[in-house]
Structure 1
Amino acid sequence: MSKPPYVIGIAGSSGSGKTFFLNCFLDHFAPHEVTLISQDDYYIPANTKTQEENKLYNFDLPTAIDRNAFHHDIRLLFEGQVVYKEAYTFNNPAIKPSMLEIRPAPILIVEGLFIFYYEEINKLLNHRIFLHAEDEIALRRRLRRDLVERGYSADDVRYKWINHVLPAYRQYLLPFRDQCDRIIINNTDDPAPIVAITNEISVELREKVLSARK
């Protein structure tokens, strides 16, 4: 690419609605206009971690991510190169990981819990979006997801929430909230507010980024 991408950093607590927000956002653009790179695809394998006494791994730490590889691949996208990466399977040996093909585009979305905490990544961001949901609402969403989609027990989910998720959010993400360009409060399961916000942002980006590159 002749110009570096316009980089949007999107982060929020677990259960804040990031996935729905991202899907709505991406639906406004063609694949050649926007690309997404997610921190979640750079988890270090669980078998390299030390288990806690209850045999659970803590994935909610900056050291749980292959930070160097994440940054390296973002830089490749800046250089106009295609990134090939195995999708993360949440340590499920029954799932064969798919191969991601992340192509450079004028708009680059960088998503993840630690993207503001990682200084080398934070400084690449042009626009920062923070999604927030109240703790009780976020936990309810997390329970619904992990019990149904990932087969965890309710006790495991609650243990991780109290001992891993909330401490990580408060230490590594919440301090950056006031530095973000847009804070989105998402305490409802009504999709209309998120759809409206992504509509607004997409119009701004078409005028600010895409039109300028034609």
Structure 2
Amino acid sequence: MNKKPVIIGVAGGSGSGKTTVANKIYCKFQDRSVVMIEQDAYYKGQSHLPMEERLKTNYDHPLAFDNELLIKHLTKLRNREAIHKPVYDYANHTRSDEVILIEPRDVIILEGILILEDEKLRDIMDIKLYVDTDADLRIIRRLMRDIKERGRTIDSVIDQYTSVVRPMHLQFIEPTKRYADIIVPEGGHNQVAIDLMVTKIKTILEEKSIL
């Protein structure tokens, strides 16, 4: 009989350090059976829309995500079935034709800004984390990332943050903190919280006899 894998959700606002936390947990289990699933891969396809409409997409809103497909894929992974994870094409603002084969693993780390917003998605997780970082640090990190990695201007990043990212964070992301089993302050720099998480995951895996 196949043991069901452990699904760990790591949520938090843009620039909170949730990806760093998820990666650090992932690295601790690399010698075992672990896979990372990013909610960002599950943005809805928009090939049916003209480009001017696609450019208006609010990627910080719950409706931007195809949670139905994400839940379907997580369910398949829990049942030890492989999936084809979508790839999002940010240049064309729609889903790519490419997919990535993901084999089932003992530990599944689900990472994304709004994974705790959907009740059905929450129900499928064994452990729910919320990475809680002050807004000033989050905007600085986003500024540095978008300027260095995405060639954005300071003005465009600040305009997007104040007009979309901040209001969406306050309306949809911040309130999901109450659903978390564990709140991790200061993101990837909180080694104590990460070590505690790793210990907890090991205990769960031992209880499931899959470690």
TM-score in terms of structure 1 length:
0.84
Query: Which digits, 9 at most, give the CA deviation of each residue in 1:1-60, with x for residues without a partner?
Result: 7122222111000010112111111110136522221110011246638858xx653211
Q: Using the TM superposition, give the Cα deviation of residue 149 of structure 1 relative to its aligned residue in structure 2, in angstroms.
A: 0.6
For the residue of structure 2 that corresponds to 1:128, the secondary structure is: strand
Code of the residue aligned with 1:160 in structure 2: it is Q
For the residue of structure 2 that corresponds to 1:130, the secondary structure is: strand
Moved more, 99-108 or 110-119: 99-108
Q: Take 2:165 and 2:158, find their aligned partners in 1: how far apart are those partners?
A: 10
Q: Which residue of 2 aligns with 1:200?
A: 196
For the residue of structure 1 that corresponds to 2:183, the secondary structure is: strand
Q: Which residue of 1 aligns with 2:7?
A: 7
Query: Which digits, 9 at most, give the CA deviation of each residue in 1:121-168, with x for residues without a partner?
Result: 111112110001111110000010011111122222112211211222
Q: Take 1:71 and 1:25, find their aligned partners in 2: how far apart are those partners?
A: 22
Q: Take 1:49 and 1:183, find their aligned partners in 2: how far apart are those partners?
A: 40
Q: Take 2:19 and 2:159, find their aligned partners in 1: how far apart are those partners?
A: 23
RMSD between superposed Cα atoms in Å: 2.6
Q: Take 2:156 and 2:56, find their aligned partners in 1: how far apart are those partners?
A: 8
Q: Take 2:45 and 2:146, find their aligned partners in 1: how far apart are those partners?
A: 19
Q: State whether residues 28 and 199 of structure 1, in contact with CA within 8 Å, keep that contact through their aligned partners in structure 2.
A: no
Q: Which residue of 2 aligns with 1:115?
A: 115
Q: Which residue of 2 aligns with 1:140?
A: 140
Moved more, 152-161 or 38-47: 38-47
**Within the alignment, does 1:60 sit opposite 2:72 as a pair?**
no
Number of residue pairs the alignment of both structures matches = 206
- Correspondence 1:52-201 to 2 at 5 A: 56-91=56-91, 99-186=99-186, 193-201=189-197
Structure 1's unaligned 5+ residue stretches are none
Moved more, 172-181 or 21-30: 172-181
Code of the residue aligned with 1:76 in structure 2: it is K
TM-score in terms of structure 2 length:
0.85
Q: State whether residues 46 and 57 of structure 1, in contact with CA within 8 Å, keep that contact through their aligned partners in structure 2.
A: no
Q: State whether residues 129 and 182 of structure 2, in contact with CA within 8 Å, keep that contact through their aligned partners in structure 1.
A: yes
Q: Take 1:204 and 1:99, find their aligned partners in 2: how far apart are those partners?
A: 32
Aligned residues with identical type, % of pairs: 26
